[in-house]
Amino acid sequence: MTFNRRDGFQLSEEPEVWIAYERAIFAAELHRMTNFIAGIVAPHAQRTPEDEWARLVLEQLGGIRATLEVLTRMERP
Q: What is the pLDDT of residues 34-71, one digit of tens each?
A: 999 999 999 999 999 999 999 999 999 999 999 999 99
- For residue 75, give the DSSP letter: P
**Which pLDDT belongs to residue 13?**
81
Asked whether residue 6 is domain-assigned, the answer is no
Range of the domain at 56: 14-73
Identify which has the larger pLDDT, 45 or 74: 45
Asked whether residue 2 is domain-assigned, the answer is no
Number of domains in the chain: 1
CB 33 within 8 A of CB 61: yes
CB 33 within 8 A of CB 58: no
Asked whether residue 31 is domain-assigned, the answer is yes
Q: What is the pLDDT of residues 8-36, one digit of tens each?
A: 888 788 888 888 888 999 999 999 999 99
User: What is the pLDDT of the chain when averaged over all its residues?
Assistant: 89
Q: Percentage of the chain with pLDDT > 90?
A: 64
